[in-house]
Structure 1
Amino acid sequence: MSDHRFDRRFLSFGLGFPWAVALCFAVLALLFRSAVPDPLGIHWDGEHADLTLSFPVFVLLSALCIGTLGSICGVLAGLRLSRRWLRRLLMGLAVSLSLLPASFAAALLIGQRGHSTAEDGAADSVVFALGSGAALALGVIMIFVYQPLPQWTDRDDRALAAEQAALAGEGELSYWLSARSSTFVMLAMLVFLLGGLLLILSPWWSLLLLILVLFLAVNLFARVSIDIDGASREAGRVSRLLRVRIAGLLPVLSFRLSELSTLESASIGLWEEGGPGLRMHAGQAQFVVRDGAALRLDFGTSGSLLLGVPDQQRAMDLLENLRRSRQKPQEEADS
């Protein structure tokens, strides 16, 4: 086991705790040796013990069960896994699975103490209930107390590279653009009220209205992203694209940032620009769904784009990113 794969400090606890519980149980069980029958009953069919074990075998199997179940989860919790919540859950299970078998074995011992044969005894339900409750409680406490150190992973490398690329104007950027919530509320009211009236005439009219409203609602939100074109990456050169996807799935607009010539922020009125949703006419495209901030982008021969943004701050961030993207090719050409 290498230090790279395992956290030795927590691995020691994950292995040591279950076997410490097993050792403590074995020692305490020996103190009850003279007070319990031999063989010990494990399962009863009515008043008859149909499964029994000799005392040494019972103690040995109980200790092995306690140590094995707990240490399996303890070893997994000691692994340097990238998901901290999973390590915490496994450590909590290691504690609980160590104490639960010990509680059951202790219930069998206490329930048969003072009896001459296994036929007269039974598992003590109170002992088992108290022990199992404590086992579960301590397991939950361990989940919150156990704080494995964050591990640097490939995901962190990718996140760092994305942040560095964003600072250089080369990173990927995305945001959701949607109409105001009141718009969707009005569409829902239209379906319920008008759809209810049309239902009196024909269910097909109501179904047609529902389809039309759903189509309209889907066109009122989209995902805008700036990312790297996969084809250009394979060809050995990096070309970044501005894409607009209706409902986050259907691509409707795509522009190369290398063709961006001018850009400016603007404050628009929704109905002054022709209404919400996607509009395309004579090389000019727009996607706006609410009044407020927007960007006017000119891509030369590829056309122009009027693009809505959620708020003014997002507009400034996007504007700065696009400006850096436009300046970088110019600086490379000058050099």
Structure 2
Amino acid sequence: MRLDSSVLAVLVTACWLLGNGSAQSAERPDEKYRPRLLLSLPEEYNTPDGMALCPKTNNIFLSCPNFNKKEHPGVILKITPDNRWELFCLMPKHPDTGYGCPMGLAFGPDGNLYVADNQYFYDKNYKSRLVRINIKDGKATGADVVVEGFKLANAVIWRGNEVFVSDTFFDLPDRPGASGVYRFRLEELDKCVRLKPAPNDPHLIAQCQTGPNKRNEMAGADGLAFDHEGNLYTGNFGDGTMFKISFDAQGKATTKVFVRDPALPCVDGLFFDPAAKVIYVADSQCNAIKVVTLDGKVSVLWENDDTDGSDGLLDQPCEVLLRGNEMIIANFDMPLPGLKNTKFDKPYTLSVIKLR
């Protein structure tokens, strides 16, 4: 079932090389942060991905695009504070591909749930969308496509009346590895926004570039997180570069490289901890959760070898979320070349780490 059935909390050693051959310093994860199993999901929810915490109920909403077993439709689950799960809604299918592929999701100021619909794995021709799941009395009542024309819509985050969406591939012939972040105002979403092909749409506020890396993976902007001062962070899945996006008084965005460190070769989901003032990063390549301080220093919260996740250890972590003093982690378990995770296998899991 797995490459190595031993359960190891590995040293983060210099043996994990990047394309430039540089290496990490050894660092042993603290056993008090060993992940435990939070939930094991049935086969019809086989690819857990994005998470959003409802501010009113403390319920977690979990997207499952089910890329690993495509015969099961994409869905959104609801997980209660006592860790019981139930189906919240099916993801609306794209009329051209026949699939609904929910990934990043976030609650808007209107109380509705906004979900990235990643169609890139089925059709790369600008089919991905931002979908609003309309909610009344805690129930999904319908859905509207509010933005269309992304390549690979990925993470979603709100700040005030603005929503931000990462697009992980632009697929520009003259700029391989280009990606970016879009911004939309709530009032624009009363009708569907149709994007111009990147990088020509005015909603594009930040562009990112993935450089050469050992995995030859050109995937770019992935997770999104705001810090307490309103700066937005994203990072490349391919080479692990993190970017900081700052805004002036008029909302104009300026993007600069925030972290480029061999200790962080891959960035998937991000989450800012306002108490500790650090950013937690799901490092899918290393089967790890990394910690990034606001001055750009990288450390390891936890890392483990290739496992099936049955005991709660990380199995290609893709998303992190804080619920009180707990870190909830979604394990995507969809192997790609160069990742420590080598095989899709049961169970389909969420992990939890007690932080404080």
Question: What range describes the TM-score normalised by the shorter chain of this pair?
Answer: under 0.3
Structure with the greater relative contact order (CA < 8 A, sep ≥ 6): 1 or 2?
2
Scaled by the length of structure 2, the TM-score of the pair is 0.17
Larger radius of gyration: 1
Q: Greater share of helix residues, 1 or 2?
A: 1
Scaled by the length of structure 1, the TM-score of the pair is 0.18
Q: Greater share of strand residues, 1 or 2?
A: 2
